[in-house]
Amino acid sequence: MRTLLLAEPGRFERTHTREPDAPEPGHATLRIRRVGICGTDLHAFRGRQPFFEYPRILGHELGAEIVALGKDVGGLSVGDRVAVEPYLACGRCQPCRAGTYNCCESLQVLGVHTDGGMRELIDLPAHRLHRSQTLELEQLALVETLGIGAHAVERGRLISEEVVLVVGAGPIGLATAQFAAIAGARVHLLELDDRRREFALKHFDIKGVPLPDAKDPTGALRNHLDGLLPTCVFDCTGSHASMQASFAYPASSGRLVFVGFQPQEIHFENPEFHRRELSILASRNSTAREFRRIVELMEAGDIDTTPWITHQADYEEVVERFPTWLKPESGVVKAMLSL
């Protein structure tokens, strides 16, 4: 079957791999139709993705069709279109037993720790599939991205009318902003890139804030918020500099949620941290409950994904087009691969 293999940093190969065997009990065989391109994929292409080995089949944002089912699978049928929850947990470790399998001690994420969906067929556990009878394949491929934002907002425990700052207007930042708005918060956005900031303000229910001054990082923010600071800040950048800077933004007794990820150490001033009684939270992946909620919201029209997909390519085009998506001037918000 046709497969896209990231052989090494900066080099994809169009190749062929063996089709999966008939699915075992509890599993399904999927025909992959759409693959959303994530920041993780871009980092892997650059050679900057931690916990990553080459060669690797990328792809964890998947819209797919079921083509075969093993025994003991209920609620699914051949021909169903599904979103794929790409987190393969062990089910035995302490976080799995506690229900937080998104933090499984031996978690395997498709396209990162194990081969993903940039191929025609894949075998997966059926309980990781979320079907919809109405959503298009492109929408289903966006559910995982939206899940990251939904889980982050859940971690932040927002209340209605709370003032929230989202740092970064990439896909994860946009997803976080959307779910913060659904939670009833008043959402403000800090984004350095002019194109991304303008796109976000045009298409989503958020307000932009002035860019910070290095000498007074909260001054412009306070002026924008009538002397206040946000009570919850979501840093969605994956930028070390941004994550360090975000410690300044929450109000006293506020929360800082790190949604983005990067491999360097993050430091904070302990006296200032205690003086302001800040809470720092990490947000990792999402859960089946959030996947189900997102599918329902999308089916009801409460989440509009129309603006998201700005670039597309098929199997014959993607090797040449993929490197262009790394360039800021390309204006990529979300690229989508069709297989």
- The residue extents of the domains of the chain are 2-142+308-338, 148-282
Looking at per-residue confidence, does 235 or 263 come out higher? 235
Residues 227-258: tens digit of each pLDDT: 999 999 999 999 999 999 999 999 999 999 99
Establish whether the linkage from the previous residue to 55 is cis, with ω within 30° of 0: yes
328 pLDDT band, cuts 50/70/90, is confident
Listed residue (76, 79, 81, 88) closest to 64, CA to CA: 81
Whole-angstrom distance, CA of residue 60 vs CA of residue 37: 8
Domain boundaries 148-282, corresponding CATH code: 3.40.50.720
CB 259 within 8 A of CB 178: no
Please report, to the nearest 10 degrees, the dihedral formed by the alpha carbons of residues 176, 178, 180, 181 taken in order: 160
- Tell me the CATH architecture of domain 2-142+308-338: Alpha-Beta Complex (3.90)
**What is the structure's pLDDT at 245?**
94
List, in sequence order, every beta strand (DSSP E) within the chain.
Answer: 2-8, 11-16, 27-37, 61-69, 81-84, 87-88, 108-109, 121-125, 129-132, 163-167, 186-190, 207-208, 232-235, 255-258, 279-282, 309-314, 334-338
**What is the structure's pLDDT at 27?**
98
The structure's pTM equals: 0.94
With a cut of 80, say whether residue 38 has pLDDT above it: yes
With a cut of 90, say whether residue 214 has pLDDT above it: no
Please report, to the nearest 10 degrees, the dihedral formed by the alpha carbons of residues 67, 56, 239, 156 taken in order: 40
Per-residue tokens: 32: 């992959």
Residues 161-194: tens digit of each pLDDT: 999 999 999 999 999 999 999 999 999 999 999 9
**What is the structure's pLDDT at 329?**
86
Please report, to the nearest 10 degrees, the dihedral formed by the alpha carbons of residues 280, 194, 146, 251 taken in order: 20
Count CB neighbours of 167 within 10 A: 26
- pLDDT above 70 covers a percentage of the chain that reads 100
**What is the structure's pLDDT at 310?**
93
- Residue type for 224, please? H
**What is the structure's pLDDT at 215?**
85
Residues 58-110: tens digit of each pLDDT: 999 999 999 999 999 999 999 999 999 999 999 999 999 999 999 999 999 99
Q: Is the dihedral of CA 110, 3, 319, 334 positive or negative?
A: negative
Whole-angstrom distance, CA of residue 135 vs CA of residue 50: 33
- Strand pairing partners for 12? 6
331 pLDDT band, cuts 50/70/90, is confident
- Residue type for 305, please? T
Parallel, antiparallel or unpaired: strands 232-235 and 309-314: unpaired
Per-residue tokens: 164: 């929230």
With a cut of 90, say whether residue 15 has pLDDT above it: yes
- Residue type for 118, please? M
- 100 secondary structure, DSSP code: -
Distance in angstroms between the alpha carbons of the first and the last residue of the chain: 11
3-state secondary structure (DSSP) of residue 242: helix
What's the mean pLDDT in 109-122?
97
